[in-house]
Chains A and B, each alone.
Chain A
Amino acid sequence: MPTEIETLPVQRKEETIYEHLQARGVSRREFLSFCAWMGACIGLESSGVAQMVKALETKKRIPVIWLHFQECTCCSESFIRSSHPIVADILLDKISLDYTETLMAASGHQAEKSLQDTIAKYKGEYLLCIEGSVPLAEDGVYCCIGGKTAKHIAEECAEHAKAIIAWGNCACSGCVQAAKPNPTDAKPIHKILAGKPIINVQGCPPIAEVMAGVLVHLLTFDAIPQLDNLGRPKAFYSRRVHDTCYRRPNYDAGLFVESFDDENARKGYCLYKMGCRGPSTYNSCGTIRWNGGVSFPIQSGHGCIGCSEANFWDNGPFYQRLPNLPGFPIEGTADKVGTIAAAAAVGGAAVHAVMTNFRKREGIGEQAGENAEQAEKHNGSSDHKS
C-alpha cells in the first residue's frame, strides 16, 4: 500500500511546524489564537506575535533530546498537563522529540541507537533538554543509563547540541538530592557542562506554560531568551512571587496570618509570618498560575516554599520566616543567637562596671583629687612593674 505510506508524516525534516499542525487538524484560527496567547505569556508585543506566526509557519521542527537523570519526572508531568492543547502538542508533535526515556516508543538498544542517530544526524542543530541532576560521587554510579553514567551521557549529548535547557530545580540547582548532606554529590547541569548556552527553567516543577514559552521563544527567535544572573529566562523569572501576589495589599497593610487555623488565615491575609518565601522567590506563579490559571500555592492558603530558588530545601524550615543559621545547631535562629550575644554583652558590661569600681578606685571621682598623690604612687609603681 504505497499510497497510505505517503500520507503519513514521514518527511519530518521537510515539514514546517504549521504544516504539521494542519496535518493534525488544527485550524488557522486555533493556530493564531495559540500564537497570541503564547505571545502574551512570554511578554511579546503584538508585532512579536506576527513574528511568532511567521516563524512557526516557515521553520522546521527542531530535533530534541530530552534526558532524565536524578529526578522525579514532575517536570515532564507538568508539561504534558499543560492547559492549552497545542502546548501539550508542542512537546509531542511540534518539536520532534527524538529521545526521551519517559515518552519515547523505543526501548533498550533501539532507544540508545536512536540517541546516537539523532546526535549524528543533527550535529549542532538539536536542542538538549535535561531533567534532573548529575551525581558525581563514586564516579557517578548513582545514576547510570544503558551502562553509562549521567555525567558521561550529558557530556556526550552536549557536545553537538545547539543549546541546553535545564528543566526544573534538579537540573538548575540540584533540588532535594543536592540538599545537605548531598550523599551522591548531585550537581546541577551548569556545574557539569560548560561552553554551551544553558537556560535554567526553574521550579519544582516549572509551570507548563513557562516551559512551552521557553521552547516557543527558541523556535521563534532562534536565540536564547534574555536570562537573569542565575540563568533563568527574564520573561518568567524577573518578578518576585511577592510582587505579583494577590495577597500583597495585606502585606503592605500589615495584616498577617498568625497560624494556619486562625481567623486571619480564613480571611486570606498575607502568609509572610507563616514562612512564605514569596518575597525572595522569582517565578510566574502569581500571574500565570497553575493548571490553566486555576490557582497557585498561596491562593490555596499555603505559603510559597521557594521552589524556583537554589538550595530551597536547605533554607528551611518552610514555616519559619527566616531560616536557621548555617553552622549553628538546629533551632539556631539569628534571633536566639543574637539574644544570647546581647545578653552576654549586657552581663559582661555589668560585671565590668562592678569590677571597675574596685580595680580603678584611685582614679575615680573625688578619690582622684583627694588621693591624687596615692594614685600617682600607685600608677607609678605599676608603671615600673610593667
Chain B
Amino acid sequence: MNASHDYQRVYVWEQPVRWFHWINAACIIALGATGYLIAHPPGLLSGAEAGDSYWFGTIRFVHFATAYVFMCNFLFRLYWASVGNKYTHWRNFFPLTKPQIRQIFAVLRVDIFQSSNKAVHTLGHNSMAYFTYMGTGVLTMFQVFSGFALYASMSHSWFPQMFAWMVPLFGSEQNLRVFHYGALWLFIVFTLIHVYLVFYHDYVEGHGVLSSMVGGWKFMEKEEIEADQAIGLSGFSHHKPAAHPAAPPPKAGTKPVVP
C-alpha cells in the first residue's frame, strides 16, 4: 500500500503571496505591540525630564508608519487576487458556490469537531480558511479605515483626511478608538487559532502546510489533487476554463462535477 503513495510536489503559493504573508505578519505584530503600548503605556521613566526622552512619541511613530506598510501590503494582495494563480484568486474568499459551502461544513466536522475522519484535502486553503481570511481582510480594512480616521487630526497629509468620515459615523473619536482597540483582540485571537491550526494541519495531513508559506510547495497524493481539482475549489481560474479543466464556471444552479 505504501508504494502506491504517489506524492506530487505542487507550487501553490507564489513568491509575492509569501512576501505578503510575512510582511503582513510582521506588521500585525508591530502594530499590535505598539497599539497595546499606546493603550497601556507603562510607567517607565518617572523622575525623568520630559525634554530628555521621546519614547512614547517614537512608539506612536512606529505605529503610524507601520500602518502605511500594512495598508500598502494589503492593497497589493487585493491586486494579486486578480492576477495571481488560481489559489490566490479573490473568488475563493467568497463561499457562494455549493461545493464551497459544503466544504465549510465538512471542515467543521472533520477538523474542528472531529466527528468525522474523512479528511478534506485541498491544495489551496480549504473553504473555511478562505472564508476566515475574508473576515481578516474585512478586519484589516476596518483597522486601516478607523486608524487613519483617528490619525487624520494629527496629520497634515491629505491621505488620512480621506478617512475622517469614520468619526461621525461612530459618533465620536472616543467611540471609534474603542472599536479600533477592540479589533486588536480579534487579531490576537485570530493569530492564536491560525498558528495552532497550521501546526495541526501539518501534523495531521502531512501536506507541508507549515513550510508552504516559506517555499511555496505543498505535497499531496495524486488522487487527492485530482479530487480537489474536480470539486473546483481553490481552482477559480484566471484563464479560460480549458486551461484548467477542473474549474467550472460559477453559475447558479450548476451541479459541481464530482467523481
- Among A281, A309, A325, the residue within 8 A (CB) of B178 is A325
Tell whether, in the assembled complex, residue A229 and residue B178 are in contact, meaning their CB atoms are under 8 Å apart. no
Question: Which partner residue on chain A sits nearest B185 by CB separation?
Answer: A338
Tell whether, in the assembled complex, residue B184 and residue A253 are in contact, meaning their CB atoms are under 8 Å apart. no
Q: A309-B173, A322-B177 are in contact. Are A334 and B185 (CB under 8 A)?
A: yes
Tell whether, in the assembled complex, residue A254 and residue B45 are in contact, meaning their CB atoms are under 8 Å apart. yes
CB distance from A200 to the nearest CB of B (A): 12
Tell whether, in the assembled complex, residue B50 and residue A349 are in contact, meaning their CB atoms are under 8 Å apart. no
Tell whether, in the assembled complex, residue B117 and residue A243 are in contact, meaning their CB atoms are under 8 Å apart. no
**Which of A14-22, A71-79, A216-224, A367-375 sits within the interface?**
A367-375
Interface size, B (range): 35 or more
Tell whether, in the assembled complex, residue A325 and residue B182 are in contact, meaning their CB atoms are under 8 Å apart. yes
Assembled-state Cα–Cα distance A256/B53 (Å):
13
Within 8 A of B (CB), among A205-257: 229-230, 239-240, 243, 249-256
Residue tally, chain A, CB below 8 Å to B: 65
Interface string of B177-202 (1 = CB under 8 A from A): 11001101100110011001000100
Interface string of B41-53 (1 = CB under 8 A from A): 1111110111111
Tell whether, in the assembled complex, residue A229 and residue B193 are in contact, meaning their CB atoms are under 8 Å apart. no
Q: Is B168 an interface residue (CB 8 A)?
A: yes
Query: Residues of A contacting B56 with CB < 8 Å?
Result: 251-254
Tell whether, in the assembled complex, residue B118 and residue A382 are in contact, meaning their CB atoms are under 8 Å apart. yes
Q: A253-B55, A254-B45, A382-B118 are in contact. Are A341 and B189 (CB under 8 A)?
A: yes
- Among A273, A310, A382, the residue within 8 A (CB) of B41 is A273
Q: Is B136 an interface residue (CB 8 A)?
A: no
Q: A280-B172, A312-B172, A383-B118 are in contact. Are A353 and B48 (CB under 8 A)?
A: no
Assembled-state Cα–Cα distance A368/B172 (Å):
57
CB distance from B144 to the nearest CB of A (A): 19
Tell whether, in the assembled complex, residue A368 and residue B206 are in contact, meaning their CB atoms are under 8 Å apart. yes
Q: A251-B56, A322-B181, A342-B189 are in contact. Are A277 and B45 (CB under 8 A)?
A: no
- Among B112, B119, B172, the residue within 8 A (CB) of A309 is B172
Tell whether, in the assembled complex, residue B53 and residue A253 are in contact, meaning their CB atoms are under 8 Å apart. yes
Assembled-state Cα–Cα distance A312/B174 (Å):
9
Tell whether, in the assembled complex, residue A342 and residue B48 are in contact, meaning their CB atoms are under 8 Å apart. no
Tell whether, in the assembled complex, residue B50 and residue A249 are in contact, meaning their CB atoms are under 8 Å apart. yes
CB distance from B175 to the nearest CB of A (A): 7
Q: Is A83 an interface residue (CB 8 A)?
A: no
Query: Residues of A contacting B164 with CB < 8 Å?
Result: 229
CB distance from B146 to the nearest CB of A (A): 13
Tell whether, in the assembled complex, residue B54 and residue A264 are in contact, meaning their CB atoms are under 8 Å apart. no
Q: Is B114 an interface residue (CB 8 A)?
A: yes
Tell whether, in the assembled complex, residue A345 and residue B189 are in contact, meaning their CB atoms are under 8 Å apart. yes
Query: Residues of A contacting B167 with CB < 8 Å?
Result: 229
Interface residues of A (CB under 8 A from B): 229-230, 239-240, 243, 249-256, 258, 263-264, 269, 272-273, 277, 279-282, 306, 309-312, 315, 321-323, 325-326, 334-335, 337-339, 341-342, 345-346, 348-349, 352-353, 355-356, 359-360, 362-364, 368-369, 372-373, 376, 378-379, 382-383, 386
25 A-B pairs with CB atoms under 8 Å apart are: A229-B165, A249-B50, A253-B45, A253-B51, A253-B55, A258-B46, A263-B46, A279-B173, A280-B172, A310-B172, A321-B39, A321-B40, A322-B181, A337-B182, A338-B182, A338-B189, A339-B185, A342-B188, A345-B189, A345-B192, A346-B192, A352-B114, A360-B117, A362-B117, A379-B117
Interface residues of B (CB under 8 A from A): 1-2, 5, 39-46, 48-57, 59, 112, 114, 116-119, 153-154, 164-165, 167-168, 171-175, 177-178, 181-182, 184-185, 188-189, 192-193, 196, 200, 203-206
